[in-house]
Amino acid sequence: MSQLADSDDTTPLLRDDACSDDSRDEDYKSRWRSIRVMYFTMFLSSVGFTIVITSLWPYLQKIDDSANASFLGWVVAAYSLGQMLASPIFGLWSNYRPRREPLVCSIVINMSANIYYAYAYLPRTNNKFHILMSRAFVGFGAGNVAVVRSYVAGATSLKERTSAMANMSACQALGFILGPALQACLSFIGEHGVTVKVIDLQLNMYTAPALLAAAFGLINILLVVLVLREHCVDDHGRQIRAINYTSEERDDISEETEETIDQVAVLISNVLFFIVMFIFAVFETIATPLSMDMFAWTRKEAVLYNGIIICSIGFESILVFLVVKVASQRVGDRPVLLAGLVIIFCGFFILLPWGNHYPKIQWADLKNNSLVSWTSKATIASNNSLEPTGCPYEQTWCQYTPAIHLAQYISSDILIGVGYPACNVMSYTLYSKILGPKPQGVYMGWLTASGSGARTLGPIFVSQAYTILGPRWAFSFICGIVVGAIILLSSVYHRLIAFSVRHGRTIE
């Protein structure tokens, strides 16, 4: 009989799979309290990113009119570049020191960066570069997700692993929900808001979310310091050692593990995770500019409506995580990952423009079907009550590329909202199982870095491709990448198995 017994399918989101006898064990309770602190840290990391994502483009336009869609790609990428650089550092740090240290340090950096973002409007020039730097430091602080993932991987048995990773992803999804939802709520403060003269702060729909994220960080620090305790178990859930950071035993275990890990499977897992994150980075970056171009939404409408859409996708993702916990136990992790990629392909494929309906062009004289004169443009621009909407005339593809219908946009959101969370949780669940005995800090650091690299390149790619070539070419290229990922996964399917299964210790 397989030692990888199925866990209870009815296990609640934030509960473990313990029997009543284990639940009375204080070490067991402490282990799961600490895991839940990691869930909350992942949740806040997600909130820190999404709470400003739908207002980032309007904020840039408001405080620096030299910013364009291409620069937006660099700003979004800055977060991920910072995370990519920080992840291996924090991962290595967590292998040799108490995890509390890198966690507290990273959260302090994150809080400071959010405050910096809220004050990015103060300098007289180059405001867009201050936003760029602040988002890079927010991303650097978010490098702690490598510590979170390595801790959860080391503190759970193989039986508990998929469920724990799904719970962690569900908390991440909750962050994706709460972030845009809070931004949508705070949009009612308006662009002008109120001014706190004592600290020279403009509290408005753009700065309030960042300050709220900083406040959440303070709560996170208190939980890490007061609740988190170090635990490490083997594949069967047995406590294997007390954590001693000066012990040579820890290094010996790490060296032994590195000699027996399937490095090809590790590499392929990183590549697949890179592709999954690249695809989603493209999606989240282009959502606001695409909707403003195609549906002629104003800045405030784009923030509100995309916040509602992303919030809805987050709720959908939680349902997907609950289904994934059951599906992976029934059919395995790899089929769920493959199915997720197929669904993502469908999501981007239906987003391709078609038909003979074209987007509204900014500053266009619709009666004469030609651009208005510069004098007319200046007259319209001088009217503060009128904000130009539609596809910018500088994007020449707007004149010959069919518009994307709202039904296409929403259908794509729904499909990607199913495929992405399934691929995300299965990618690092498989990865943690492939690595086997712990510590996994450095390896998880590289996995997080690969995902951050994807989130760095994705926004840069899509902002350039979308601005120059339009959605047809940009989304066709994404479809090609997803097909490549499906082929790659199929070719190495037999190697993506748990460490203990590969060495014959358990039956898959």
Task: Kindly give the pairing relationship between strand 201-203 and strand 194-196.
Answer: antiparallel
Q: What is the pLDDT of residues 420-476, one digit of tens each?
A: 888 888 887 888 788 776 566 677 778 878 887 887 788 778 778 888 888 888 889
Task: Look at residue 417 in the predicted model and tell me its pLDDT.
Answer: 87
Reduced to 3 states (helix: H, G, I; strand: E, B; else coil), residue 303 is helix
Separation of alpha carbons 55 and 289, rounded Å:
11
Q: Omega of the bond prior to 439 within 30 degrees of 0, cis? A: yes
For domain 20-238+246-351+404-502, the CATH architecture is Up-down Bundle (1.20)
Model confidence, pTM: 0.67
- Residue 64 has phi, psi (to 5 degrees) of -150, 100
More confident residue, 181 or 336: 336
Q: Considering only CA atoms, which of 269, 306, 266, 250 is closest in space to residue 438?
A: 250
Task: Look at residue 415 in the predicted model and tell me its pLDDT.
Answer: 92
Q: Is the pLDDT of residue 250 over 70?
A: no
Q: Kindly report which listed range (107-116, 139-148, 356-365) carries the lowest average pLDDT score.
A: 356-365
Task: Look at residue 64 in the predicted model and tell me its pLDDT.
Answer: 82
Q: Kindly report which listed range (18-22, 59-63, 281-285, 481-485) carries the lowest average pLDDT score.
A: 18-22
Task: Look at residue 234 in the predicted model and tell me its pLDDT.
Answer: 67
Q: Is the pLDDT of residue 374 over 60?
A: no
Task: Look at residue 104 in the predicted model and tell me its pLDDT.
Answer: 93
Other CB atoms within 10 A of residue 251 CB: 12
- Residue 201 has phi, psi (to 5 degrees) of -115, 130
- Mean pLDDT, residues 125-143 taken together: 89
Look up residue 272 and give its two tokens.
């697949």
Task: Look at residue 439 in the predicted model and tell me its pLDDT.
Answer: 61
Look up residue 447 and give its two tokens.
């996995």
Amino acid at 175: G
Contact between 142 and 110 (Cβ < 8 Å): yes
Share above pLDDT 70 across residues of the chain, in percent, rounded to a whole number:
83
Using CA of residue 458, residue 181, residue 392, residue 190, what is the dihedral sign? negative
Whole-number mean pLDDT of the chain? 78
Q: What is the pLDDT of residues 27-55, one digit of tens each?
A: 778 888 889 999 999 888 888 777 887 78
Q: How far is CA 118 from CA 205, 209, 286, 329, in A?
A: 10, 9, 23, 45
Separation of alpha carbons 96 and 99, rounded Å:
9
Q: What is the pLDDT of residues 90-104, one digit of tens each?
A: 888 887 888 889 999
